């Protein structure tokens, strides 16, 4: 069984395409089941985030697996030209890199760990994941946690927010004393609140569908902050200079109709509407002129209507405008990024080595089982030829024969496990089967029995 990854992300597709193909809810479940029902796929999971849609699968053969998954994903997304494929070793490396945040648009962001975990849980609940894929995704989560614990990769991700807010400073003149509205209460919103606080904004308003989460986020801000529900966003717009949205819901959170009155002010002019903001004390707009506002959309699909950027005095920056910031994030934290890459390389090597060693185990078990059968048969024959043999002597002979067989098999079985851990290790299992004339189906039967008995380590899901 080999691991295969087929998908598209911000690295392979434009933001507009990613926005169109994002799957969630029933659509996500349908895609998961459609892939799993393919005759060429044994196990499947779908990782769907604002920046990627990826199918993780366990397949017997590469080409039929790729063809089946590519056709299904193309049917769901309608954009086959942007798909990429990773197989076996590279698929493992990709899975670990994704979990560490190396493949994210916001390098090092921690939200991806939760998204991978949710993808695994969904696959377990739906019975589409078995041992092979479960082990890969569980190990990816462990590698991701290690990367965040041992390196400063989390801080690298903050650069994308910083780059976005640099545009706010350019548009507004400065950030200290400004008022900001942050829409959403997830990890990206928390990163935004922390960055805005460091930049010295005067007040932050956190808006979220679940008010309690907004309250928690606002309560941890280093500057004055308060929480509101999404229904109160319209009123809040009239008193803020900066709006950052990180929801990623299917549907716009902010429309031009909502923003236009806030830009114009209650009397149709910017000065009056802007007078409530302390940041306007210096008078950065003439009377009657539209007030300046900056919008940063860090969500996919987009939270903010793109036409808002055409309103007088308004600047809008989205993730598609920050594509070049990916290089900046690498420049800001080269040591952290390189440290995570080393961790990934180390963990991939260890995982593949352990997997190769484990692959030979069923053959070793089959060999020992055959040896035990031979010993039992010979002891039975000896008992028939020497029926008067005393029980004590019979026991001594049995122990001696079993010890001889164990000692003869010990060195080759230990050595074959060591050799199997290296590249090309599967050839040693094949050699054992050939040399000892093992039943070709015996190792497979051992593997099936082992899986049927233990199942995935979490106790959820089943081998198909």
Element (H, E) at 367: helix 334-385
**What is the four-CA torsion angle of 449, 39, 98, 327, rounded to 10 degrees?**
160
Please list, residue by residue across 1-40, b when 16 or more beta carbons sit within 10 angstroms of its beta carbon and e when fewer do.
ebbbbbbbbbeebebebbbebbbeeeebbebbebbbebeb
Instruction: Kindly state the helix (H) or strand (E) to which residue 45 belongs, with its residue range.
Output: strand 41-49
Strands (E) across 298-451 are located at 314-318
Rounded CA separation 421/426 (Å): 9
- Residue ranges of the alpha helices (H) in 23-152? 25-36, 62-77, 89-100, 111-125, 131-150
Q: Catalytic pick from 8, 15, 22, 50?
A: 50
Residue 380 CA to residue 140 CA, distance in Å, equals 51
The b/e string for 143-154 (b: 16+ C-beta within 10 A; e otherwise) is bbebbbeebebb
- Cα distance between residue 364 and residue 198, in whole Å: 60
Question: Is 50 annotated as catalytic?
Answer: yes
Q: How far apart are CA 40 and CA 63, in angstroms?
A: 9
Identify the three-state secondary structure at position 239: coil
Nearest residue to 216 (alpha-carbon basis) of 261, 247, 244, 185: 185
CA distance 20 to 53: 11
Of the candidates 8, 47, 107, the one whose C-alpha atom is nearest the C-alpha of residue 322 is 107
Contact 192, 161 (CB under 8 A): yes
Catalytic residues, by residue number, are: 50
């Amino acid at each position: 069984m080999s691991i295969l990854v087929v998908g598209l992300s911000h690295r392979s597709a434009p933001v507009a395409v990613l926005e169109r193909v994002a799957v969630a809810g029933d659509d996500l479940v349908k895609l998961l089941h459609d892939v799993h029902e393919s005759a060429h796929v044994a196990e499947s999971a779908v990782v769907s985030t604002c920046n990627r849609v990826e199918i993780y699968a366990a397949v017997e053969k590469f080409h039929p697996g790729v063809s089946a998954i590519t056709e299904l994903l193309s049917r769901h997304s309608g954009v086959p030209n942007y798909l990429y494929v990773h197989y076996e070793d590279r698929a493992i490396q990709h899975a670990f890199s994704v979990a560490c945040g190396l493949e994210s648009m916001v390098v090092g962001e921690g939200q991806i760990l939760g998204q991978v975990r949710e993808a695994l849980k969904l696959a377990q609940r739906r019975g589409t994941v078995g041992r092979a894929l479960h082990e890969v995704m569980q190990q990816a989560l462990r590698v991701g946690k290690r990367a965040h614990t041992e390196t400063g990769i989390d801080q690298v991700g903050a650069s994308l927010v910083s780059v976005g807010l640099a545009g706010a400073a350019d548009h507004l003149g400065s950030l200290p004393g400004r008022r900001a509205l942050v829409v959403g209460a997830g990890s990206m919103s928390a990163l935004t609140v922390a960055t805005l606080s460091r930049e010295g904004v005067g007040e932050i308003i956190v808006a979220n569908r679940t008010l309690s989460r907004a309250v928690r986020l606002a309560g941890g801000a280093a500057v004055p902050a308060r929480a509101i529900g999404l229904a109160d966003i319209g009123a809040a717009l009239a008193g803020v200079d900066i709006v950052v949205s990180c929801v990623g819901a299917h549907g716009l959170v902010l429309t031009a109709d909502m923003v236009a009155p806030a830009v114009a002010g209650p009397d149709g002019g910017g000065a009056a509407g802007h007078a409530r903001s302390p940041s306007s004390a210096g008078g950065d707009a003439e009377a009657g002129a539209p007030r300046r506002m900056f919008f940063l959309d860090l969500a996919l699909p987009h939270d903010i209507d793109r036409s808002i950027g055409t309103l007088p005095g308004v600047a809008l920056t989205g993730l598609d405008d920050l594509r070049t910031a990916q290089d900046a994030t690498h420049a800001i934290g080269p040591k952290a990024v390189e440290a995570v890459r080393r961790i990934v390389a180390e963990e991939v090597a260890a995982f593949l080595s352990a997997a190769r060693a484990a692959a030979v185990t069923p053959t070793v078990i089959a060999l020992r089982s055959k040896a035990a059968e031979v010993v039992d048969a010979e002891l039975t024959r000896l008992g028939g030829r020497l029926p008067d043999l005393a029980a004590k002597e019979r026991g001594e002979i049995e122990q001696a024969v079993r010890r001889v067989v164990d000692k003869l098999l010990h060195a080759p079985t230990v050595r074959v496990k060591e050799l199997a851990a290296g590249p090309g290790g599967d050839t040693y299992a094949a050699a054992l089967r050939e040399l000892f004339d093992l039943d070709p189906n015996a190792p497979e039967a051992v593997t099936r029995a082992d899986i049927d008995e233990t199942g995935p380590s979490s106790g959820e899901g089943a081998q198909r």
